[in-house]
């Protein structure tokens, strides 16, 4: 597995519904949780949640209950997706660093949203699927499990609010660091 000295951890939150999306709406990124983790030490730096104003959907009550993000918050503090991608490039060196996410959802969603919004994909080619890696390396689990279960299996506490990208990025970093030490 090729890694850079620092690894960029990404966790996305997107508009969601407890059923199908309402007519004319579709899932889109509303938060990019991000942090940088030193591959050797596991030390985390530059942790933030970049809030994004959705263009083709509204935050449902279900989504707010899951993520704590509200339409009002995103209307007031969210930025456009292409501006968020610019932040990833400028402040996180996203095109140069190996990056990681828990599963392939984030990888696929970033590619899909870049196409949907006619903006350049902001990430490099070297991606680590932490969910798969954890399943391969853990001595007893040996399958894909959710992030919270992986933390529990390792005896790690869930920091912050689950389903907030800013917090989940840090939690994923803890799992990834364990994986790198045991690879």
Q: Does residue 117 have a pLDDT over 90?
A: yes
Reduce the DSSP state of residue 183 to 3 states and report it.
Answer: coil
Q: Does residue 144 have a pLDDT over 90?
A: no
Check residue 152 and give its pLDDT.
Answer: 96
pTM listed for this prediction: 0.96
Q: What is the mean pLDDT of residues 29-44?
A: 98
Q: C-alpha angle with apex 180: 134 to 99, nearest 5 degrees?
A: 85
Residue in 39, 16, 19, 42 with CA at minimum distance from that of residue 29: 16
Look up residue 84 and give its two tokens: 């968020």
| Angstrom distance (rounded) from CA 160 to CA 157 | 9
Residue in 102, 100, 95, 59 with CA at minimum distance from that of residue 77: 59
Q: What is the mean pLDDT of residues 6-19?
A: 97
Q: Check residue 101 and report its DSSP letter.
A: E
> Burial level of 25, CB count in 10 A (0-12/13-18/19+)?
middle
Look up residue 76 and give its two tokens: 């007031």
| Angstrom distance (rounded) from CA 23 to CA 172 | 34
Q: Does residue 128 have a pLDDT over 90?
A: yes
CB 160 within 8 A of CB 171: yes
Q: C-alpha angle with apex 63: 107 to 127, nearest 5 degrees?
A: 10
Q: What is the mean pLDDT of residues 94-122?
A: 97
Q: Does residue 2 have a pLDDT over 90?
A: no
Residue in 129, 145, 146, 139 with CA at minimum distance from that of residue 1: 129
Q: What is the mean pLDDT of residues 71-99?
A: 98
Q: What is the mean pLDDT of residues 151-174?
A: 97
Over pLDDT 70: what percentage of the chain? 100
User: Would you list the domain boundaries of the chain?
Assistant: 6-182
| Angstrom distance (rounded) from CA 180 to CA 156 | 16
- Average pLDDT value for the chain: 96
């Amino acid at each position: 597995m090729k890694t850079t000295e620092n690894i960029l951890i990404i966790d996305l939150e997107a508009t969601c519904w407890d059923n199908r999306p309402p007519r004319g709406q579709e899932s889109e990124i509303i938060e990019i949780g991000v942090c940088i983790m030193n591959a050797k030490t596991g030390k985390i730096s530059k942790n933030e949640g970049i809030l994004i104003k959705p263009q083709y959907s509204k935050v449902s009550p279900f989504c707010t209950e899951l993520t704590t993000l509200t339409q009002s918050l995103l209307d007031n503090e969210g930025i456009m997706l292409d501006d968020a991608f610019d932040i990833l490039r400028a402040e996180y060196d996203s095109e140069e660093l190996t990056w990681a996410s828990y599963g392939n959802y984030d990888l696929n969603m970033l590619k899909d949203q870049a196409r949907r919004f006619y903006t350049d994909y902001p990430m490099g080619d070297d991606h680590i699927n932490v969910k798969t890696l954890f399943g391969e390396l853990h001595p007893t689990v040996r399958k894909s499990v959710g992030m919270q279960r992986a933390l529990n299996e390792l005896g790690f506490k869930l920091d912050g609010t689950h389903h907030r990208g800013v917090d989940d990025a840090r939690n994923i970093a803890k799992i990834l660091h364990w994986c790198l030490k045991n690879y």
